[in-house]
Chains A and B, each alone.
Chain A
Amino acid sequence: DTAVSQTPKYLVTQMGNDKSIKCEQNLGHDTMYWYKQDSKKFLKIMFSYNNKELIINETVPNRFSPKSPDKAHLNLHINSLELGDSAVYFCASSQNRQHGYTFGSGTRLTVV
């Protein structure tokens, strides 16, 4: 059983398109996150959801929007994709905000 699963694993799309990445965790964790990893491996927090409430929203463009239908899911919607959005996006969850993360396998987004 995959603890944190995200789909798709690869996503190639054209500039200007709208896309979504799905994330589901079956660990019963309270908090879920989205991270962006750039080409230099730098990890940047994008969003955090705790009990369906957005508790962190870093300075990301409003083209990015998280959607959490329930505690086990945190999807990422991206509108009007730009070349600079190309990166690997990781979903993660944690038991609470003080524990280590369990990460999904990542989604490599390529905008052409």
Chain B
Amino acid sequence: AQKVTQAQTEISVVEKEDVTLDCVYETRDTTYYLFWYKQPPSGELVFLIRRNSFDEQNEISGRYSWNFQKSTSSFNFTITASQVVDSAVYFCALQVSGGSYIPTFGRGTSLIVHP
């Protein structure tokens, strides 16, 4: 069985602070995919990144960066110099290869960035 834990229910920061959202996953499969999605207050869900289990390279996209560490089963997401527009609920998801391919979502972390 797969499991995704986002232990931080809510994080509150002040603009320009760096913030890291944690994601820890559990699976016995060796081939899997990890995702992050953003849900701003407007409600839509936006795909941010997909990472497969064989690619442990960290990824950077502007102020966003992701750190994938198989040794600790973590796929953490860092926002550098946070902005008010980053305020949203962020979901981490795990999808194993084969079978139904349906991802398991974490419970989400609500990030509030204060001006």
Contacts and interface: CB of A to CB of B under 8 A. Distances in A.
Nearest to B97: A98
Interface stretch (A16-24, A38-46, A59-67, A72-80): A38-46
B35 interface: yes
Contacts of A99: 50
Interface residues of A, number: 22
For chain B, the bracket of interface size reads 20 to 34
Interface string B14-44: 0000000000000000000101010100011
If over half of B's interface residues share one DSSP class (helix, strand or loop), that class is named, otherwise mixed; here it is: strand
21 contacts: A41-B39, A41-B107, A41-B108, A43-B91, A45-B102, A56-B102, A88-B43, A97-B101, A98-B33, A98-B101, A99-B50, A100-B37, A100-B47, A100-B49, A101-B45, A101-B47, A103-B44, A103-B45, A103-B47, A105-B43, A106-B45
Given A41-B108, A103-B45, A106-B44, 6 more contacts: A41-B89, A41-B107, A98-B95, A100-B37, A101-B37, A108-B43
